[in-house]
Every structure is written in C-alpha cells, then in structure tokens.
Amino acid sequence: MALSTLLATVLCTIVLPVLLFLVAVKLWEVYLIRGRDPSCPRPLPPGSMGLPFLGETLQLLLQRRKFLRMKRQKYGYIYRTHLFGSPTVRVTGADNVRQILLGEHRLVAAQWPASVRTILGSDTLSNVHGAQHKSKKKAIMRAFSRDALEQYVPVIQEEVRAAVRDWLQRDPCVLVYPEMKRLMFRIAMRILLGFDPEQIRTDEQQLVEAFEEMIKNLFSLPIDVPFSGLYRGLKARNFIHSKIEENIRKKLEEDSEGLGCKHRDALQQLIDSSKNNAEPFSMQAIKESATELLFGGHETTASTATSLVMFLGLHTEVVERLRQELVGLQEERGVDLQNLTMETLDQLQYTGCVIKETLRINPPVPGGFRVALKTFELNGYQIPKGWNVIYSICDTHDVAEIPNKEDFQPERFMATPSGEAGSSSSSSSSRFQYIPFGGGSRMCVGKEFAKVLLKIFLVEVVTQCNWTLLNGPPTMKTAPTVYPVDHLPTKFSPYVPN
C-alpha cells in the first residue's frame, strides 16, 4: 500500500508535470509551424521554437554568441526560432543577406523587437518608413556631411587627447571598455546633441548610468510591469528624455532670440527639419530621435574603439606600421598631427585598413531586424508574411570566403582596388561578405562620422601610448553591442619615439 502511494505521489508531483510540459512545448511548436503559408510550396526553415510564449529569448539573452553559434552549426545559414515575442527567421551568408538588404520595401521592412520600439520610440529613424524615413534621414545626413565632419574634428581630437592623457596618469591599470563608453558619450553629447562641456560635466554621471540601464534592457521581453527589464529601461529612458528636452528648449529659445550658433549639430538639424516640414512640432518625436542618435553615436564607436585597443595590444607589429604611416605623412608631406583635418585623415590609408579589419572580426552590431511584408522564398525555404527576419552581420563575416579569416591582417583591405576584403570576385553578392554598417537603404547614416572618430582615436593613442593587456585576449560578449567580459584591463605608458 505504501509503495503504491509513493508511486502515485511521484507520478503526480514529477512525472505528470514533466509530461504536461513536454506536451505544451510540442503543441506550441505545432501551433507556430501552422503559421506557414500554404500557398507557398517551400517548407519552413529548420529550427526550434523554444518554450511556450517565451520562445528562445532567454537562451539568447544568457548565452548570446554561444547560442547563435550552436544554432548555426545545427541548422545552417537559415533557421527558424522564436525571439522577443515573435516567430523569427535568422539569416546568414552573403547571398542570403543580400536578398534581405536589397528587398527593403519589397520583401521586408525594418522592424525592431517590441521592447526596442517601446524604449527608443516609434518616431526614430530605425522605425519609420517611406516619406517620413526619407525626410528624417535627409535631415540627419546634413549633420554628417563632409563640411560638418570638418567642424567636428577639433572637438573629437580635444576630447580624445584629454582622455588619453588621463589614462597615462592611471596606475596600475585602466578598464578600457567603461572608459571608452564615457569618452564616446561625451563626444556624442557635444557633437550630435550640442551639449556644452560644462553641462556634460554636471550631468555626465547620471546620464551615463541611465544610459547603461536603458541599453541593458533594450532587448527584453515586452512585459511592462514593475521591476521587469522593460520597466527599468523605460524609467532610464524617461530620465534621458528629461535632460534632452532641457537642451531642446534651450536651442528653441536661442533660435527665437537670434542667438543660434553657426554649427548645426544633428539635434539642431532635426529641429530645423521639423519646422521646415510645416508639421506640428513634436517634442516627443525629437527626444526619441535624439536618444537614438546618442545610442548609435556612442555605443557602437565605444565597442569598436575597445576592440582596436585589444587587437593592437595583441599585434604590436600593427602599431609600429601605424606609426610608420604617421611619421611618413609628417616627414614627406609636412602634416601636422596636432591639428588634424579631414584632408589629413583621408591620407591615413593603413589606419583605415586597421579599422576595417577590426570591424570585420568584431562588428559592434551583430545584426539587423526586419519583418516579412509578404511570404517569399529564400534559398529553398519560405519566409511567411508577418514573421520577423534577423540578418546576421557577425555570422556573415564569420562564414565569408576569404583567406586566413581568423587572423588579424589589416593589409587584406589594401589588396583589392575597392578596399574591401575577400575574393577578387566581382559578383554582386561578394560585397555583402563585409557589412559592418548594414546595407541597402537602411545602411548606417553615421558610418562616415564613426570612421573619422576612430581614425582620430588611433592617431592620438598610437602617438602618445604604449600599452599592455593585463589579462591577455578577453572573452567577448554581445549585449547589445560587442564588448570584453573583463572590460579589458590595460596598462598604458608614454610612448617615446626613437
């Protein structure tokens, strides 16, 4: 009697719940697979949909690159999953990504996960479409024109030089990644949003902490309840909006009094565009766009600058070649490295190759989000209408058909006339082997700004410093941009030319 009671207890408390759970998972999978379009003869991509409602979001958030690598090895270059509340197809490889990027408005449209849209807002460049996207992009592009970039160079050099000077005074080490985020945040606040240096010093600590909290919760389950990731992200976002609104009102007041400055930063361009379009002025829309600019303008450059310090710390021969290029410009062309210009930066060919190679191995943004506007075929599979599509930048770089792709070799970008890595093939898909800034009509609007900023950073750091990575090669993580888990502890020391 006691044995039968024990068996019944085990069945009720352990076996039955496990069986019910497995049945629920199977029913969830069947329910989602029924979402395939019966009018298309192609099958859904292989894959799994994870737990009911949660999908595989938690595995992605916890494991990041390990999860993505495992899925690619198991299912190939196109597979289905369920992320951030939506059935999703993840796409890798130049040929496949090319069809997604060139299919904008025809096959797919940009659509980030619900949590990103909620936190960043619906009026941001990454979330608007059609005429609204074209108008907003045009306004922002004026802030990244060559004339505008020329004005930014002295400000960037001033901020970078001050940061490098501070690192040289630190003992025993500098945690590079947090320092890069602070440096790039200050630069973005001054150049993109027009904050003055004194205002940045006053609000910097609070703003950096709020931005950290917002970024940490940008990709989360779309559940807005107290203490959830989305709730914390929105709370941090609201604080950032309050500070940006103060600056917008200050700009509006200066304009009304005829005190507007000659330099038109990206935020000012958005304000001017809003006025010129004869539409009602929307403070919320401007704040959302400014927050997106701040995210795109500092988070990605901080990631890449950190990767530059890491790769150069591991490859001192590349540092020496960078210095040789700079010395050559000084001696042969009389270039003044203390007062950089766009013309000088254009001549830094090898420096540009170092940045390109860093972006190839460690692209700061792992991929982009789209939604299928209609059911279409991709490499033998159907992508159902309404499903999300993620094109992978990091995986596409990983599988690109280029020689010695695991090695850090900046000179590979000097080997071809176009300056792009890879085979000499002129096929239309070969250029999609290297897509650190995305592609198509949604290519990153700030890519030229990023290149200028990173070149200035390299000039300052290699002419002033030697450095040693105290922990050796770090483990890299993505959340949401790529960064070293140990924050890259580094010892900087003054560089004295021979």
> What residues form the annotated binding site for heme?
444
Q: In this structure, are residues 78 and 92 in contact, taking their beta carbons and an 8 Å threshold?
A: yes
Token output for 366: 């792992």
Dihedrals phi, psi of 309, to nearest 5 degrees:
-60, -40
Token output for 451: 């290149």
| 132 Cβ contact list (under 8 Å, min separation 6) | none
- Residue 390 CA to residue 82 CA, distance in Å, equals 11
DSSP lists the bridge partners of residue 230 as none
Q: What is the DSSP string of 46-99?
A: SB---BTTTBTHHHHHHHTHHHHHHHHHHH-SEEEEEETTEEEEEE-SHHHHHH
Binding residue positions: 444
Whose CA is closest to 81, among 65, 68, 95, 66?
A: 68
> Interhelix angle for 146-168 vs 176-191, to 10°?
140
Token output for 207: 């703003």
Q: In this structure, are residues 248 and 267 in contact, taking their beta carbons and an 8 Å threshold?
A: yes
- Residue 158 CA to residue 480 CA, distance in Å, equals 29
